[in-house]
Amino acid sequence: MSSYIKIKFGDDVPEINSNFGRTIEEIFRSMGPFFTCSECLWKPPMDIYETPEEIIIIAEIAGVNKENLEIEISGKAARIFGKRDISLPVENPTYRLAEIQYGTFERILFLPSPIDTEKVTASFTNGFLQIRLTKAPPEKPHKIQIK
């Protein structure tokens, strides 16, 4: 059993303004395999908090095993992908209410400011995934001497 959460880093997420909301995910799915999740069956609820120093993402993913969870981080976006397997307590039940969603999920979250991909941590406790992303220091203008 693995004791860590897989986190991949890359710069292949295009820069996008996060004000477009959830519909931007559907637009980008048609643009390439990085954004494709044809089998996605549900979207876990998530919160994003921002402090002066960091961005914190919290995802409610109870019942998802860490082995079935993958996180990809670029300086501008986070992709959280996983799968919740169905486990029935009895064989061939007759459902009276079925609200719990199973199967694969994917969320692409565009971050409100650039982050330092060297300073990312993730933890998974009581069904909540927490990702802490340290903000990148602001770029300083570089003066060029004219000769």
Radius of gyration from C-alpha coordinates of the chain: 18
The confidence score (pLDDT) of residue 12 equals: 52
pLDDT in tens, 72-130: 998 889 999 999 998 888 888 888 888 888 999 999 999 999 999 899 999 999 999 99
C-beta separation of 81 from 105 below 8 A = yes
**Torsional sign, CA 54, 58, 64, 69:** negative
Residue ranges covered by each domain of the chain: 6-85+101-135
17-51, pLDDT tens digit by residue?
Answer: 444 444 555 555 444 444 445 566 889 999 999 99
CATH of 6-85+101-135 among 3.40.50.1820, 2.60.40.790, 3.30.470.10, 2.40.420.20:
2.60.40.790
* Distance (Å, whole) CA 132 – CA 64: 19
For the chain, what is the mean pLDDT? 80
Phi, psi at 26, each rounded to 5°:
-65, -35
Closest CA to 4 of 120, 130, 124, 111: 124
